[in-house]
Amino acid sequence: MCYFITFTCYGTRLHGDESGSVDRHNSLVGSRRLEPDTFRVLAESREMLQDPYVLDEAARQSVLAAIRKHCAHRGWNLQVAHLRSNHVHVIVEAGIRPERIMNEFKAYASRALNQLTSEGPYRKRWSRHGSTRWLWKEEDVSHALRYVVEEQGKPMALFVSDKL
């Protein structure tokens, strides 16, 4: 099965901010995004235990290498990965549920970042969950590939499989 997985960096996209985020009550495909809500953003930012985490170029390259290595180790078909300063997009084909894949990506990426920086293992780097979309049809895969590769702005840390 093919999945489109997205997860964000800790504190960089809060519910109610201008990005039009989703929450657990409206996260289905096609559901409306949250309207901007300054009070909700302020409440969530007050609850943050650490500053927001942003991926610089070295961190993006380190996380990309960890994701590629992990996919190779597990025998998963990594089609595309695009790491931005505040979020990660991955399209991967694997025989397990996407939530587990996303959790493994976060764990291996965190280990790589622990080796890269002196912030230590207690640094919060990732949001609590993320988006795990099942790509049922070839058309769904094509649309997701186009979105990840062409619609994210100037490429940052980008991997595109040569099998595409």
CATH number reported for the structural domain that contains residue 112 in this entry: 3.30.70.1290
Where residue 119 falls among pLDDT bands split at 50, 70, 90? confident
CB of 15 closer than 8 Å to CB of 57: no
How many domains are contained in the chain?
1
The answer as to whether 44 is a domain residue is no
d(CA 147, CA 129): 21
Which pair of structure tokens corresponds to residue 33? 């995004």
pTM: 0.82
Where residue 92 falls among pLDDT bands split at 50, 70, 90? very high
The answer as to whether 148 is a domain residue is yes
For the stretch 120-162, pLDDT in tens is 778 899 988 899 999 999 999 999 999 999 999 999 999 999 9
The answer as to whether 25 is a domain residue is no
> Hunting for tokens 């291996």 — which residue is that?
108
Q: What is the pLDDT of residue 77?
A: 98
Range of the domain at 87: 2-13+51-160
The answer as to whether 21 is a domain residue is no
The answer as to whether 40 is a domain residue is no
CB of 45 closer than 8 Å to CB of 128: no
Q: What is the pLDDT of residue 28?
A: 44
